Amino acid sequence: MKAQAVKLNDRVYWVGAIDWGMKEFHGYETQGSTYNAYLIIADKITLIDTVRADFADEMLARIASVVDPSKIDYIISNHTEMDHSSALPKVLEIIKPEKLFASKEGVKALNEHFKLPIEVTPVGDSKLDLGGAHLSFIETRMIHWPESMFTYFEEDGILFSQDGFGMHLASSERFDDEIDFGRLKYEAAKYYANILNPFSNLVAKLLEKLGKLNLDIKMIAPDHGPVWRSHISDTLSWYGAWSDPKRTAKALIVYDTMWHSTEKLAVAISEGMLAGGAKPRIMPLTAFHASDIVTELLDSGALVVGCPTFNGGVLPSVAAFMQYIKGLKFRHMLGAAFGSYGWSPAVVKQLNEQFEAMRIELAGEGVQAKFVPDDAALEQAYNLGFSIAGKLKNNS
């Protein structure tokens, strides 16, 4: 196949692959993605990360547009997850590099994934001389996996950050300033919320570590999405905010409904919030994907979840949503529950228990209504919204 590398500067090239059709990434709804790999032309020609196995030929073709792949001396694996490593067995057979580097945990993880024809050389927080070009490795545990690391190209100021600062976005543009700024921020936030949020405390520590290293970063080159060259301070400050979320006046109301009774309660809660000065956003699970809802959670002060009682429990759609946010460890916001029931109310109690198990502070007992909410139930829902707004006001 014919495919071109994209120049980052005189000696660094993007040689990754674009996956136009990927719709889902472990439960996260995407519009395609890219698997980025980078080629450094130095005395020791070096490839940083690879791609998903079925995109190996595309990556090799892009490399071949710059240099014969067999001339590559070193390969660095910053992250073992299959979207960056599963091409390795094939690529190693073709390239036959002198060395393959990974973090200490990366060595184990690569050998646990693949039968590789080369011994993997472990690196810690250390340096590598490519001849006229120096790389330093920075361990970034749990961003995204235990073995993950960043590689910093000292002379050229490029931080190869694997999943960090990435986004799932298939596009022909390779740089941040070629993409609409609002889209860029949304996709970066969506990636953070759905992939990195569980590790926010480690993200905060990593930002501190990067600050202490005092790197002169001219580009951030992640393994997904565009290369950052114009909005580096933006993306760093977004990560600072997302890793230390605050209870803002924004409140999400998320629900599913059978006969619109739970929906009526949702609208009443929203009215109460508006009257109390909060900024409600109604996001029914029938209209919004969970991965977009959790993106909005990054800067929300409250999450109010509604569901009718169904066979003594929650609807499968709501159960799946609660399971999803549990895994992503959102904890900063207030939680509350509401829902209708026919003869045996169960959902509000069950949702409250789930919030508590997730260590999410409850904003109140919740609201439940028999069959179709009457005026008294709608007033209770309104009052719940009003009271949450008051709590958010006191917090912000």
* Catalytic site includes residue 134: no
- Edge-to-edge, what's the strand order for the sheet holding 6-7? 6-7, 12-14, 38-40, 46-48, 74-77, 99-103, 120-123
Of 84, 144, 168, 332, which one is the catalytic site residue? 144
Of 19, 49, 58, 83, which one is the catalytic site residue? 83
Nearer to ligand FEO, 58 or 223 (CB): 223
Q: Is 27 left (phi over 0), alpha (psi -120 to 50) or beta?
A: left
Nearer to ligand FEO, 19 or 223 (CB): 223
Q: By CB under 6 A, tell whether 223 contacts ligand FEO.
A: yes
Per-residue x/- mask for ligand FEO, residues 62 to 91, rule CB under 6 A? -----------------x-x-xx-------
| Interactions with ligand FEO, residue window 88-127 (CB under 6 A) | none
Taking the C-alpha atoms of residue 216 and residue 12, their distance in angstroms, rounded to an integer, is: 17
When binding is defined by CB under 6 A, the residue of 163, 176, 256, 263 that contacts ligand FEO is 163
Q: By CB under 6 A, tell whether 44 contacts ligand FEO.
A: no
* Catalytic site includes residue 68: no
**Contact call for residues 344 and 308 (beta carbons, < 8 A):** no
* Catalytic site includes residue 289: no
How many residues bind ligand FEO (CB under 6 A)? The answer is: 9
Shortest distance in whole angstroms from residue 166 CB to ligand FEO: 7
Shortest distance in whole angstroms from residue 146 CB to ligand FEO: 11
Residue carrying structure tokens 């993409």: 179
Q: By CB under 6 A, tell whether 144 contacts ligand FEO.
A: yes
What type of residue is 94? I
Q: How many CB atoms lie within 10 A of CB 139?
A: 20
Per-residue x/- mask for ligand FEO, residues 224 to 243, rule CB under 6 A? x-------------------
Residue carrying structure tokens 């480690």: 202
Q: Strand pairing of 219-221 and 158-160? A: parallel
Q: In this structure, is the dihedral angle defined by the CA atoms of residues 89, 95, 96 and 98, taken in order, positive or negative?
A: negative
* Catalytic site includes residue 49: no
- Return the HEC string of 100-165: EEEEHHHHHHHHHHCCCCCCEEEECCCEEECCCCEEEEEECCCCCCCCCEEEEECCCCEEECCCCC
Nearer to ligand FEO, 145 or 310 (CB): 145
* Residues designated catalytic: 26, 79, 81, 83, 144, 163, 191, 224
Q: Binding residues for ligand FEO, per CB under 6 A? A: 79, 81, 83-84, 144-145, 163, 223-224
